[in-house]
Amino acid sequence: MSILAEHLAPGALTRPNYFYRAKPQILRVVLETLGQALARTIAMVGDVKLTEPRFTRQLFLNFERARDETPGSPRYDITHQPELPIADTTGALVALRRLDFRLVFLRQVGRTGDYLCLEFKYLDTRDRSTDREYVAEGVNRIVIGDYAHGHPCAIMVGLERTGPLEQTSAHIGARLITRYGAGTGYRSSARIALPYAFESNHLQADGPHQITIVHAYYLISQPA
Protein backbone atom coordinates (compact mmCIF):
# COMPACT_ATOMS: atom_id res chain seq x y z
CA MET A 1 0.00 0.00 0.00
CA SER A 2 1.34 3.45 -0.86
CA ILE A 3 1.90 6.14 1.73
CA LEU A 4 -0.97 8.14 0.25
CA ALA A 5 -3.33 5.15 0.40
CA GLU A 6 -2.46 4.62 4.06
CA HIS A 7 -3.02 8.30 4.72
CA LEU A 8 -6.52 8.05 3.28
CA ALA A 9 -7.39 4.70 4.83
CA PRO A 10 -10.99 4.43 6.12
CA GLY A 11 -11.32 5.20 9.81
CA ALA A 12 -8.13 7.27 9.95
CA LEU A 13 -10.09 10.20 11.34
CA THR A 14 -12.20 8.27 13.85
CA ARG A 15 -10.70 9.46 17.13
CA PRO A 16 -12.31 10.75 20.34
CA ASN A 17 -11.07 14.33 19.93
CA TYR A 18 -11.48 14.32 16.13
CA PHE A 19 -8.00 15.71 15.54
CA TYR A 20 -6.23 13.96 12.70
CA ARG A 21 -3.54 11.55 13.90
CA ALA A 22 -0.91 11.16 11.21
CA LYS A 23 0.57 7.67 11.15
CA PRO A 24 4.30 7.32 11.93
CA GLN A 25 5.11 6.58 8.29
CA ILE A 26 3.42 9.84 7.30
CA LEU A 27 5.51 11.79 9.80
CA ARG A 28 8.62 10.02 8.55
CA VAL A 29 7.94 11.06 4.95
CA VAL A 30 7.30 14.65 6.06
CA LEU A 31 10.59 14.77 8.00
CA GLU A 32 12.55 13.20 5.15
CA THR A 33 11.02 15.74 2.76
CA LEU A 34 11.91 18.55 5.15
CA GLY A 35 15.49 17.27 5.22
CA GLN A 36 15.69 17.54 1.44
CA ALA A 37 14.30 21.07 1.58
CA LEU A 38 16.79 22.08 4.26
CA ALA A 39 19.74 20.79 2.23
CA ARG A 40 18.62 22.82 -0.79
CA THR A 41 18.05 25.91 1.30
CA ILE A 42 21.44 25.77 3.01
CA ALA A 43 23.14 25.45 -0.38
CA MET A 44 21.25 28.51 -1.66
CA VAL A 45 21.35 31.00 1.22
CA GLY A 46 24.43 30.01 3.21
CA ASP A 47 24.77 31.38 6.73
CA VAL A 48 21.25 31.07 8.15
CA LYS A 49 22.10 33.03 11.28
CA LEU A 50 22.72 36.16 9.25
CA THR A 51 19.87 35.69 6.79
CA GLU A 52 17.06 34.16 8.85
CA PRO A 53 14.10 35.88 7.07
CA ARG A 54 15.44 34.89 3.68
CA PHE A 55 16.24 31.41 4.97
CA THR A 56 12.66 30.89 6.16
CA ARG A 57 11.13 32.12 2.91
CA GLN A 58 13.47 29.97 0.81
CA LEU A 59 12.84 26.94 3.02
CA PHE A 60 9.10 27.34 2.49
CA LEU A 61 9.54 27.28 -1.30
CA ASN A 62 11.93 24.34 -1.17
CA PHE A 63 9.64 22.43 1.19
CA GLU A 64 6.80 22.75 -1.31
CA ARG A 65 9.07 21.66 -4.16
CA ALA A 66 10.43 18.67 -2.24
CA ARG A 67 6.91 17.62 -1.28
CA ASP A 68 5.80 17.70 -4.91
CA GLU A 69 8.84 15.70 -6.02
CA THR A 70 8.50 12.98 -3.38
CA PRO A 71 6.89 9.85 -4.91
CA GLY A 72 3.83 8.71 -2.97
CA SER A 73 3.88 11.75 -0.71
CA PRO A 74 0.69 12.49 1.22
CA ARG A 75 -0.97 15.70 0.12
CA TYR A 76 -0.71 18.60 2.51
CA ASP A 77 -0.63 22.37 2.36
CA ILE A 78 2.28 24.24 3.95
CA THR A 79 1.48 27.55 5.59
CA HIS A 80 4.42 29.86 6.22
CA GLN A 81 4.61 31.60 9.63
CA PRO A 82 0.88 31.78 10.41
CA GLU A 83 -0.28 33.87 13.35
CA LEU A 84 -2.29 31.78 15.79
CA PRO A 85 -4.80 33.52 18.12
CA ILE A 86 -4.29 32.72 21.81
CA ALA A 87 -7.45 32.99 23.92
CA ASP A 88 -7.99 33.03 27.68
CA THR A 89 -10.45 30.80 29.54
CA THR A 90 -13.35 33.09 28.53
CA GLY A 91 -12.49 32.85 24.84
CA ALA A 92 -11.17 36.43 24.61
CA LEU A 93 -8.11 37.03 22.39
CA VAL A 94 -5.10 37.79 24.57
CA ALA A 95 -2.14 37.26 22.24
CA LEU A 96 -0.96 36.20 18.80
CA ARG A 97 1.81 33.64 18.46
CA ARG A 98 3.72 33.19 15.21
CA LEU A 99 4.20 29.51 14.36
CA ASP A 100 6.95 28.72 11.85
CA PHE A 101 5.10 26.21 9.66
CA ARG A 102 1.66 24.68 9.79
CA LEU A 103 0.87 21.62 7.68
CA VAL A 104 -2.76 20.92 6.80
CA PHE A 105 -3.50 17.46 5.39
CA LEU A 106 -6.52 16.66 3.25
CA ARG A 107 -8.42 15.29 6.23
CA GLN A 108 -7.79 18.49 8.18
CA VAL A 109 -9.20 20.91 5.62
CA GLY A 110 -12.18 22.80 7.00
CA ARG A 111 -11.51 21.70 10.59
CA THR A 112 -10.64 24.74 12.71
CA GLY A 113 -7.52 24.25 14.79
CA ASP A 114 -6.58 20.93 13.18
CA TYR A 115 -3.07 21.07 11.72
CA LEU A 116 0.43 19.67 12.20
CA CYS A 117 2.63 22.13 14.08
CA LEU A 118 6.27 22.57 13.05
CA GLU A 119 8.26 24.92 15.27
CA PHE A 120 11.92 25.59 14.39
CA LYS A 121 14.78 26.63 16.66
CA TYR A 122 18.47 27.12 15.95
CA LEU A 123 20.83 25.07 18.10
CA ASP A 124 24.56 25.17 18.74
CA THR A 125 26.25 22.60 20.98
CA ARG A 126 28.85 25.25 21.92
CA ASP A 127 26.16 27.65 23.18
CA ARG A 128 23.92 26.16 25.87
CA SER A 129 21.57 29.14 25.69
CA THR A 130 20.27 27.71 22.41
CA ASP A 131 18.96 24.48 23.93
CA ARG A 132 17.48 26.53 26.79
CA GLU A 133 15.59 28.65 24.24
CA TYR A 134 14.56 25.52 22.30
CA VAL A 135 12.74 24.29 25.41
CA ALA A 136 11.55 27.57 26.91
CA GLU A 137 10.45 29.29 23.69
CA GLY A 138 9.58 26.28 21.57
CA VAL A 139 8.64 23.16 23.48
CA ASN A 140 6.93 25.07 26.25
CA ARG A 141 4.57 26.88 23.90
CA ILE A 142 3.32 23.47 22.82
CA VAL A 143 3.15 22.19 26.40
CA ILE A 144 1.06 25.13 27.62
CA GLY A 145 -1.22 24.82 24.60
CA ASP A 146 -0.39 28.01 22.69
CA TYR A 147 0.51 25.78 19.75
CA ALA A 148 -1.17 22.47 18.81
CA HIS A 149 -3.79 22.67 21.56
CA GLY A 150 -5.44 19.28 21.98
CA HIS A 151 -3.46 17.74 19.14
CA PRO A 152 -2.08 14.21 19.36
CA CYS A 153 1.39 15.37 18.33
CA ALA A 154 3.53 18.31 17.25
CA ILE A 155 7.01 18.61 15.76
CA MET A 156 9.97 20.57 17.08
CA VAL A 157 12.78 20.99 14.54
CA GLY A 158 16.27 21.66 15.83
CA LEU A 159 18.61 23.26 13.28
CA GLU A 160 22.04 22.40 14.66
CA ARG A 161 24.87 24.66 13.52
CA THR A 162 27.92 22.79 14.83
CA GLY A 163 27.05 19.30 16.09
CA PRO A 164 27.51 16.51 16.66
CA LEU A 165 23.83 15.63 16.71
CA GLU A 166 24.38 13.07 19.46
CA GLN A 167 25.41 15.97 21.70
CA THR A 168 22.45 18.01 20.52
CA SER A 169 20.07 15.28 21.58
CA ALA A 170 21.79 14.87 24.94
CA HIS A 171 21.51 18.60 25.66
CA ILE A 172 17.81 18.71 24.79
CA GLY A 173 17.09 15.58 26.81
CA ALA A 174 18.73 17.11 29.88
CA ARG A 175 16.79 20.36 29.45
CA LEU A 176 13.49 18.52 29.15
CA ILE A 177 14.10 16.49 32.30
CA THR A 178 15.18 19.59 34.22
CA ARG A 179 12.03 21.47 33.24
CA TYR A 180 9.37 18.75 33.09
CA GLY A 181 10.82 15.80 35.00
CA ALA A 182 11.79 12.28 34.00
CA GLY A 183 8.16 11.52 33.08
CA THR A 184 8.65 13.14 29.69
CA GLY A 185 10.08 9.81 28.55
CA TYR A 186 12.50 11.45 26.10
CA ARG A 187 13.64 8.70 23.74
CA SER A 188 14.58 7.80 20.19
CA SER A 189 11.49 7.46 18.05
CA ALA A 190 11.27 3.79 17.08
CA ARG A 191 7.94 4.50 15.36
CA ILE A 192 9.34 7.09 12.96
CA ALA A 193 12.65 5.26 12.61
CA LEU A 194 14.89 8.14 11.53
CA PRO A 195 18.40 8.51 13.01
CA TYR A 196 17.81 11.84 14.74
CA ALA A 197 14.10 11.74 15.51
CA PHE A 198 13.12 11.60 19.18
CA GLU A 199 9.89 11.83 21.17
CA SER A 200 8.77 13.23 24.51
CA ASN A 201 5.37 13.08 26.20
CA HIS A 202 3.75 15.98 28.02
CA LEU A 203 0.49 16.72 29.78
CA GLN A 204 -0.69 19.74 27.82
CA ALA A 205 -2.05 22.80 29.64
CA ASP A 206 -1.81 20.90 32.96
CA GLY A 207 -3.71 17.89 31.61
CA PRO A 208 -5.47 15.61 31.20
CA HIS A 209 -4.60 15.62 27.49
CA GLN A 210 -1.18 14.18 26.68
CA ILE A 211 0.65 15.37 23.59
CA THR A 212 3.65 13.69 21.97
CA ILE A 213 6.32 16.07 20.72
CA VAL A 214 8.53 14.74 17.94
CA HIS A 215 12.01 16.28 18.02
CA ALA A 216 13.85 16.19 14.69
CA TYR A 217 17.44 17.40 14.49
CA TYR A 218 19.28 18.43 11.33
CA LEU A 219 22.90 19.49 10.95
CA ILE A 220 22.81 22.65 8.84
CA SER A 221 26.44 23.78 8.75
CA GLN A 222 27.93 23.88 5.27
CA PRO A 223 31.00 21.77 4.49
CA ALA A 224 34.26 23.72 4.81
Per-residue pLDDT of the chain (224 residues; tens, 9 = 90+): 344 333 334 444 444 458 999 999 999 999 999 999 999 999 998 766 666 777 888 899 999 999 999 998 999 999 886 555 566 777 676 555 566 899 999 889 988 889 999 999 999 999 999 999 999 999 999 999 989 999 999 999 999 999 999 999 999 999 999 999 988 999 999 999 999 999 999 999 988 999 999 999 999 986 65
Taking the C-alpha atoms of residue 39 and residue 190, their distance in angstroms, rounded to an integer, is 24
pLDDT at 195 (0 to 100):
93
Instruction: State residue 100 phi and psi, 5-degree precision.
Output: -65, -55
DSSP letter (8 states) at residue 162: S
pTM for this entry: 0.85
- Contact of 141 with 97, CB cutoff 8 Å: yes
Taking the C-alpha atoms of residue 13 and residue 26, their distance in angstroms, rounded to an integer, is 14
pLDDT at 131 (0 to 100):
96
Taking the C-alpha atoms of residue 112 and residue 87, their distance in angstroms, rounded to an integer, is 14
Domain limits, the chain: 3-7+19-219
Whether the upstream peptide bond of residue 152 has omega within 30° of 0, thus cis, is no
Cα 191–Cα 195–Cα 196 angle in degrees, nearest 5:
95
Taking the C-alpha atoms of residue 176 and residue 11, their distance in angstroms, rounded to an integer, is 34
Residue type, 188: S
